[in-house]
A and B are shown apart, each in its own frame.
Chain A
Amino acid sequence: EAGVVQSPRYKIIEKKQPVAFWCNPISGHNTLYWYLQNLGQGPELLIRYENEEAVDDSQLPKDRFSAERLKGVDSTLKIQPAELGDSAVYLCASSEGPSRNTGELFFGEGSRLTVL
């Protein structure tokens, strides 16, 4: 069974440029998460989707970050414009639906962003 797939693995951009990350969760997983992981830190939740609905986006900086999960499967996280402080690893994870919230999250390998 395929795991959570993320792309690109690495991205280097100039500040003020846009960037987008893509995530395809494990088949059948209704819940999708985007986490931000700064160097030497634990992951911090940016947004959580239940199917196509964003149910928790309280930590998403909405002035420059946006996300979508149009068909309730794969998802895109966008930053526009990027700032130097956005350099980090962006992790996508998925899990089975909310009725099974005892379950673990399955993570992708992450997208490492470097903003110059």
Chain B
Amino acid sequence: AQSVAQPEDQVNVAEGNPLTVKCTYSVSGNPYLFWYVQYPNRGLQFLLKYITGDNLVKGSYGFEAEFNKSQTSFHLKKPSALVSDSALYFCAVRGPNTGFQKLVFGTGTRLLVSP
């Protein structure tokens, strides 16, 4: 089975400070990893993905994530947080055991950026 874990229900950070939202995954083989963001009463929006290649991937709105195979992690980061980054963030994985067809989401982490 494939799964992702987001160990923090909420992350609080002050505007201008760096932020990290944690994600660890469990799949057999090499994963495809994704981050999505959800603003209140909206659908999910794609931020970035890791398929292969460089472990550090850059995405929308200044976000980036680092794939760490040894730690089975794909943490989302941003050097300087904005109040407008406050939202719900979901990590998701596709694994080879489903032919990479099935996308499984974590439970989400709420990011709160204070002015």
Q: Which residues of A contact B (CB under 8 A)?
A: 4, 40-45, 48, 55-56, 91, 93, 98, 101-102, 104-110, 112
Contact = CB atoms under 8 A, between A and B. Distances in A.
A104 B103 CA distance: 10
Given A56-B102, A91-B44, 9 more contacts: A4-B43, A42-B108, A56-B101, A91-B43, A105-B103, A106-B46, A107-B44, A109-B42, A110-B43
B29 interface: no
How many B residues are at the interface, by size bracket? Answer: 20 to 34
Nearest to B91: A42
Interface of B: 32, 34, 36, 41-46, 49, 51, 90, 92, 94, 99-108
Nearest to A43: B105
Given A106-B46, A107-B44, A109-B41, A41 B100 contact: no
Contacts of A109: 41-43
Given A42-B107, A102-B32, A102-B49, A108 B43 contact: yes
Nearest to A105: B103
Given A105-B103, A109-B42, A41 B108 contact: yes
Nearest to B32: A102
